[in-house]
Amino acid sequence: MKRCNVCNAVYENYLNYCPTCNSELELISNNYNNSSSFHQIDINENVRANSYIETERTDEYIFEQINGSFSTINGAVAEVNTQQYYQSKLTKMLRSCFAGEPYQLSHTSHENNIRIEEHTMRRYPENALDITVYGSMRSVFATGDDITVRARRRGNRYIARQIYNHTTNSRVNIQGNIPASLVRIAVLLLIILTVMAINVVLSINYMALISTIIATLFPIVIIGAVGWYIIRLFRRKA
């Protein structure tokens, strides 16, 4: 068997990379069943995202695993709500700067809220989380799909970064967007350059600049006028 050091999950030997976080799997000994820190995922049999953990209650699954600002959530899709709306480029930029939303490249913005409930066999689920996915996700999930989500926690919100659907044995492609952090950096640089340009404009001595321009152009104007007068004088004589 092979184990993922990031998700702490055990997989079959034919897999080389974790289907959830894409980390390289490591071979483990055959006595992993005696350890309480592993959980087995058998994709061939299309089981749930988290198999049973060796705990006192054998009907419980690990619903959420927290690693710093990231969480790995294993559960079933209970509900999917999609909001679709049109935003101008300015509105997208403002929402990225102040609301932390990624800048969506498509003309139509999508915000999907997916409710994930914990796996249970003998009782109703006690835990549920709402995961936010930005981008078009039409007809990607169905109620009851068994998924594993790696999400970043921002306050009380969970923003999906990676999703694996164990029901279809496929990785869900999240639409490419510009992260809000990059938008904020670009806006900050634009503000700095604007302030520097204004400072340069205000620091110019316009009286000296006008005097320099007049002193440079006046001889050219006089020479041009004299030359034009001489040309007209020769034309009259001809």
Q: Which domain holds residue 29?
A: 2-184
Residues 127 and 69 in one domain: yes
Domain shared by 59 and 23, yes or no: yes
According to DSSP, residue 173 is labeled: P
Q: 190: which residues sit within 8 A by CB, 6+ positions away?
A: none
Based on the domain organization, do 229 and 135 belong to the same domain?
no
* Bridge partners for 73 per DSSP: 64, 149
Domain finish residue from 139, 156, 184? 184
The answer to whether residues 199 and 165 belong to one domain is: no
Q: Distance between CA atoms of 64 and 77, rounded to whole angstroms? A: 14
Per residue in 56-91, pLDDT tens?
333 346 888 888 889 999 999 998 888 888 888 888
- pLDDT per residue as tens digits for the range 40-64: 444 433 333 333 333 333 334 688 8
Do residues 82 and 200 both lie within one domain? no
Task: Give the residue ranges of DSSP H helices in 35-150.
Answer: 89-99
Query: Rounded to two decimals, what is the model's pTM?
Result: 0.55
What is the total count of domains within the chain? 2
State mean pLDDT over 8-17: 75
Considering the domain architecture, whether residues 80 and 94 belong to the same structural domain is answered as: yes
Q: Are 231 and 158 contained in the same domain?
A: no
Pull the structure tokens for residue 101: 């939303």
Report helix, strand or coil for 219. helix
Radius of gyration of the chain (CA): 32
Record the tokens describing residue 235, joined without a space.
């034309």
Same domain, 48 and 146: yes
